[in-house]
Structure 1
Amino acid sequence: MNTYQRADIIALVQNDSFRQWVLTSTPELDMLWQQYLLQNPNQEAVVAQAREIVLALRVKNDFISDTEIDSIVSDTISTIRQTPENNRDETKSYTDFSESTPPFWNFKQWFTLAASFVLLLGIGYLVYTLTKPETLSDENKVVAVNQKKKLIEKVNQRESPLTIELPDGSRVTLKKNSRIAYAEAFTGSTREIFLTGEAFFDVVKNPSKPFLVYANELVTKVLGTKFRVSAYEAEKHITVEVRSGKVSVYASQDTLSRSQSSQEEVKGVILTPNQKVVFSREEARIEKTLVEKPIVTIPPKELARFVFEDAPASQVFSALEKTYSIDLVYDEELMSHCPLTATLGNEPLFEQLTVLCKAIEAKYEVVDGQILIHSKGCK
């Protein structure tokens, strides 16, 4: 074991969040450390060893000091490294201490022994991991994220998108240089996905089993819908865009605890079609807005070419609301006295609004996922 691995093990064992995850895990801590493993696959063996040491020390968890932990881990690693191979009795089990173990060891000696044993097992695991032949490709790799469950990891290193079918029939379209991880079967009360990069989700509806996407600092919760998440590790922003249905997006508990912003700014929002959130990772702030190019959300058979002749502006705006599932906020009484004659074709929504507002001397702006129409009325 090299110096860096030794230092990593000690750092993990001394990390309060890591010890909490091992001993009293919560969904937020699970998300945090699973995401860490996905982003640092070379640390799997180190995390496994640190986990076993924390479990061995759990009886002392309430009163053991960081100094003691550092001493125990350091002594353990030093003892294993200094034991000559030719001094080990290969015919004798190293768990048999009946002849050599003093009848009354002090507390620290017992836990040093326990930590030595689990660390020895961990080193064996590391050697096996580094020397065993690779049996699975990067696009279909089963990784042990923790001792409770195994996740299937999918990685897309191709130029074209990779479509993946999940155990519940939901489909994920994974962009280049992106990866997801999920359980072999959704047996619990939720369907959990861990994403690094960008993916489009088409989720099978199941009200009794919410679908959760953990993407760095954000959690997206749905029952059944279509949406896109972009959460590249190197990017400063995370975005979630909704195509259909309803989505709840909120910051992870760890993000909330580290946030310097008001809790109101990061606690979460509800998104509907053509809305999106942009999460600033530096400021830990969520902003709700509209997608750059809103799409039509009604069935094609209900879509007709917009031809208006002296129609009240309120009627035109109402038709746009229905077509794009976006709230347009305006003074209905005022707009009912503004006649419009216009033919709207396949132009993007914002181009249509520009034409309409110019005709009635109005302006529009996007605020909190809605479109506000400002007008003083028509002459």
Structure 2
Amino acid sequence: MNKSFRHIEDFLEDDSFRTWVLSKGNTRSLFWENWLKAHPGDSAMLFEAKEILLALEEENEEGEEWQEADQARLLDTISAAIDLPDQQPLEGKVREHYFIRSHQYVWLKVSMILLVMVVSAVILSHLGVFRGPSPASKEEVAWIIREALPGEKKKVSLPDGSSVILNSASTLRYRTDFGVSHRDVTLIGESYFDVAKDSLRPFRVYTGELMTEAVGTAFNVSAFEGEAAQVQLVEGKVKVELHPKDDTEVDRIYLDPGEQAMASAGTFAKGKFDPRTALLWTEGTLYFDDQPFANVMKALERWYGVTIESEGQKPSSLRVSGEFHRDNLENVLQSISYSFDFDFNIDHKQVSIHFK
């Protein structure tokens, strides 16, 4: 191909260029890559022509690309617009018309193409072919993240006056517009919420498949990965909703003080709990009430920020009960080992347990 490209219309009139652009560069791409390398000063003109062609190459509502038939219709439309002046020359001006293409004439052709594009876009928009972008928000909304690392607890004061106590290995996220039009937070792990009253803006906690909504109350939410999620109400009233990932019907439970909602392995039920022991963690106390040994080890890992590995033949069913107030890890493991006969070693953040 020895054709020269000095104007935008030279690209638009070229069949190979239009085919290359509308086929997403899968056709004759090597030629145009070499052309750009050989004519770096004309790259802006090429990309302007490419933008004109791509203006109608948007995705439709279902996210499917245009098929070959659609592209062919677009090529025919542009070709007709380009060739229209040539097909209807004015009498007595034929020789002048073919002698030179003035800048005005060049841009007349480009204007006609743009007119075709605009009219087509309006029609297709009404037909629902194009999916327009979502309106940009007037002010960028960012996320604020509050995190309690393994081995630490953290108290967080929210802009609306609510307070949150984050348990170890827990993360709370909320947007910078929190308290303005909404009071929504996202939780991973466990937190105790003391919610400031605001009847116009319900307080919502999203964690996994659960959404807990309150106006002004105090409740505890626990949703560590791999463990049952639960919401325990201390005072006031809350609504807890289960939103399954398979988009089945939403289940809903209303709680009174002393009641809890639990979600685990496809079940969602309401029950009772003891507020005196359930919130001991907020005071620095570890409390286990007939808990499986594996769950206790996970809790110790989060509480003290360590990794625990066990070896040896351990009994098939180990369950732990005990209360440890601001105690160190060595004393806790020593106390548990008396009941289950194991040795342990603490090396910085690594703990090994060996059953005898």
Which category describes the TM-score, using the shorter chain as reference length? 0.3 to 0.5
Query: Normalising to structure 2: TM-score of the pair?
Result: 0.41
